[in-house]
A and B are shown apart, each in its own frame.
Chain A
Amino acid sequence: MRAEWLLSGLASGRVTTTYPRQREQELSRRRWNSVPTMNGPCSDTACRECSKVCPTEAITRVEAQRDAALRLDVGACIACGRCVDRCPEGVFSWAEAIDRAEVRKERFISTMEGGADQ
C-alpha cells in the first residue's frame, strides 16, 4: 500500500509554476477576470454609464477639471465586470496583469482625461 502511494504520487508529475521568475509566460496563459483597466480616453463626456453601474463607486467622474476625467480605483473594485459589459465605447477591459499588488494604496488609482476631441 505504501509503495502504491509513493508511486502514484511520483507518477503524477510536476506542475509547479515558475512564477515569479517567468512571470510573463506564466500570466499570458491565464485569462482571469481579476481587475479591470482603462484602455483609452472616453470620448463621450456626457455618458455616466460606468460610474452609475459601479456598485462600490470605484469608478467616478472627476468633474473639477475642464474636461471630465475618469478615475478608476482598483483598490475598491469587486470585479463584477459591469463596466466592461456596459461601456458603449469599450474603455474598460480586464487587465492582463492579474497579479496586481502595491505597497501604497494610492497607486491603485488611475485617471484618464475625458474628451477625445481635446
Chain B
Amino acid sequence: MMQPRLAETLPWQGWRMHTRRDDVQDMIALVAQALASDDTELLYYGFASGDGEDSGAELARELVAVTMDRTQREVVWRFGRCDADPREKSPQAYFSSPVSTPQSGMKVYPEKSPQAYFSSRLLALQSGMKVCPEFPSLASQYPGALWIEREMWEKTGYTPVGHPDLRPILHPEKFLPDPVARGSGTFHLPLGPVRADVTESGFFLFDTIGEQIMHMQPQLFYKHRDMEKLAVGMTAEDALLLAERISGTSTAAHATAFCRAAEQALGYRPSLQNERERMLFGEMERLYNHVHDFSQLASATGMTVAQAQFARAKEELLRLNAEVTGSRYLRGAVRLGRSASVDWERGTERLTAELPAIDRRVRRFLRLLLHTPTFIDRLRPTGIVEREWAKSYGVVGPVARACGLAVDARSDCLRHLYESTGHACMTAEDAFGDALSRFRVRVREWDISLHIVLELLPSLGTSTLVETELSQARGKGIGVAESPRGRVCHVLFCDNGKVVAWGIRAASAWNWPVFGLAAANGNIQTDFPIIDASFGLSYAGLDR
C-alpha cells in the first residue's frame, strides 16, 4: 500500500499556525481577550522552560500561551518575555487587585491576608526559591490558570501579579491548605494522602457543617516527579518512554500527543496509516477506561453486580489490548515517526471476534443501571459543574461535554479522520453537568468508540515499517490528543534532535481545580465517592 505523504503535518491539516511575540503585558491581555470568546480554547500556558534560569536557554524567560480558535481553524503561539527586573514591591501590591471577580467560580476563594501570604512566601523561600521578576496574572481573568500560575511561580520564582490565591502547590510535605470556613459548628476533615481502597495519593481538606460540604480543597502534587525537567537533554525517542508513563491509563493518548508534537518539531511528516493506528489505540484505551469508570461508579453506589461485571469487561479489554499490541496498557504501540509493529491481520481477527460479545454484556448492564432508580437517584443532582465554571476553568473531556460544551480534540485537529467514521463531537442531551450527565456521556462514548474501532480495522491491513532517521532540526511542536479523560496537550522544543523544553497539560490538569467546586456545590460527605468516580480524574496526569 502506498503511504500518502500529506503537505502539512497531518493532525492539524487545514489549520493555520501563527507565532506572535509581544510584550508580556500585551500578551496576557490578548490571551484573556481571546479566551472570552466561546470558540477559543487555551491549549497550553506556562513558561517555555519550566525551571526558569536553571535551564540556561533563552527560552527560560519566555512565557508561552498556545490558543486554538475553532471557527477560524487557527492555532496561535504567543510568546512574552519576562525581563529580569527584580523590583521589590510592597506585599500590599499583590493584593491591590480585586479578589472577587465576576466569574462565579471564583467566589469560593477567600481573601488571603498579607500575613498568610508572607508565611507562604517564607516557606517557598526556605525551599530554595528565588525572588524573581513578575508578569501580569492571567488567572485573575481566567480561573483556569489558577493552579498553573501557582506552579509556575513556585518553579521559577516569577510572580504572577494579581493572582487571587497565590500559595505553594508543589510541596505538600511542607505546605498544606488551611481550612477556610470557620466558626461554630464547622468541622475540618483532612483526608489522605493515603486514602481508602486502592487509589492514587492525594490530600483533600473538607470544611463541613454536619453532613454538608462547605468547601473542599484538593492538595495534589504528592506524586510530582518533575518529568518535564527530567526530559531535557534526552532524545525524543527516550522522552517518549517518559510520556507513556505520565498517566498509565492514558498511555496511548499521551504517547500520541507527544509524538505529534515531536514530529512537528523535528520536521517529520506522519502518514495517514500512522494516524489511523493512533486513533484506533486511542479508542481502545477509551473503551477500557470508560468501563473502569462505570465500575467505579457502580461501586460508589453499592451496585456490586454491575461493579463486578464491568471490572470483568475491563480485564477482557486489557487482555485484548495485550493480544493485539503485547502490552495491556498499549505501551510501545504508538511510535515516533513510524507505524506500530502489530500483526493487523491477527489483531483484526481477535478484535472483531471478541468486541461484540463484550459490548453485549456491557450494554446489558448499562441498560439495567439506567433503569435502577436507586442508582439514578444517587447520581442525579450530585456534583454539579455549572456551565460557566466549565467555560472559565477550561474544563475538558466528558466533564465538559456533560455541561453541554462541544470540547473534543478528535473533532478539532483530526476532523477528517473522525468524521470519516461517521461521528462528530457529541455532548450530553440533558447537559445538567451532574454525575448522571457525565455517566450518560460516557455511555454514549462507549458506543461511538466501539464503532470507530470496528470501522477503522479494515483500513489498517498489514503495516509496512517505515524506518526514518529523525532530522537533526531545531523547532517547536504542539501535539494534541483526546484521552479518555479529555484533551491532552504536549508542547515540545527540540534542538539537534534533543529535547530542550517540554510542557505537559494532561486532561486532569484542567479538571482538578473545578473538582473542589463541584464537590462543595450543595453536596454532602457521602456524595464524595460518587463525585470522585464520576469525574474519573488522574492524579498522576496532573502531578507529572
Contact = CB atoms under 8 A, between A and B. Distances in A.
Judged by CB atoms under 8 Å, the answer to whether A and B touch is yes
Given A1-B372, A8-B305, A94-B326, 8 more contacts: A5-B305, A5-B372, A12-B309, A12-B361, A32-B322, A55-B241, A78-B245, A81-B332
B331 A79 contact: yes
A33 B327 contact: yes
A105 interface: no
A95 B372 CA distance: 46
Interface in A6-37: 6, 8-9, 12, 15, 30-33
A30 B322 contact: yes
Leading 10 A-B pairs by shortest Cβ distance: A33-B326, A9-B305, A32-B322, A5-B305, A81-B332, A55-B241, A33-B327, A55-B238, A80-B241, A1-B372
Nearest to A11: B364
A12 B361 CA distance: 8
A79 B305 CA distance: 35
Interface residues of A, number: 19
Contact of B365 (A8, A15, A80, A94): A8
Contacts of A78: 241, 245
Given A9-B305, A81-B332, A31 B326 contact: yes
Contacts of B341: 85
Interface string A67-79: 0000000000011
A63 interface: no
Interface residues of B, number: 25
30 contacts: A1-B372, A4-B368, A5-B303, A5-B305, A5-B306, A5-B368, A5-B372, A6-B305, A8-B309, A8-B364, A9-B308, A12-B312, A12-B361, A15-B312, A30-B322, A31-B322, A31-B323, A31-B326, A32-B327, A33-B322, A33-B326, A33-B327, A55-B241, A78-B241, A78-B245, A80-B331, A80-B332, A81-B332, A85-B341, A94-B326
A33 B326 CA distance: 5
B87 interface: no
Interface of A: 1, 4-6, 8-9, 12, 15, 30-33, 55, 78-81, 85, 94
A80 B319 CA distance: 18
A81 B326 contact: yes
Interface of B: 238, 241, 245, 303, 305-306, 308-309, 312, 319, 322-323, 326-328, 331-332, 341, 361, 364-365, 368, 371-373
Contacts of A4: 368
A85 B308 CA distance: 38
Contacts of A79: 327, 331
A46 B306 CA distance: 57
B230 to A, nearest CB: 12
B514 to A, nearest CB: 33
Contacts of B309: 8-9, 12
Contacts of B372: 1, 5
Nearest to A2: B372
Nearest to B321: A32
Contacts of A94: 326
Nearest to B242: A55
A75 B294 CA distance: 34
A81 B331 CA distance: 10
Contacts of B305: 5-6, 8-9
Nearest to B372: A1
A6 B306 CA distance: 10
Contact of A1 (B241, B312, B371): B371
A6 B303 CA distance: 11
Given A5-B305, A8-B364, A32 B328 contact: yes
A2 B323 CA distance: 36
Contacts of B327: 32-33, 79
A94 B326 CA distance: 10
Nearest to A1: B372
B130 to A, nearest CB: 32
A94 B332 CA distance: 14
Nearest to A6: B305
Contacts of A80: 241, 331-332
B326 A32 contact: yes
A62 B502 CA distance: 35
A80 B238 CA distance: 10
A5 B368 CA distance: 7
A12 B363 CA distance: 13
Contacts of A55: 238, 241
A16 to B, nearest CB: 10
Contacts of B364: 8
Contacts of B332: 33, 80-81
A84 to B, nearest CB: 9
Nearest to B316: A15
B198 to A, nearest CB: 18
A30 B245 CA distance: 23
A30 B328 CA distance: 11
Nearest to A84: B326
Nearest to B315: A15
Nearest to A85: B341
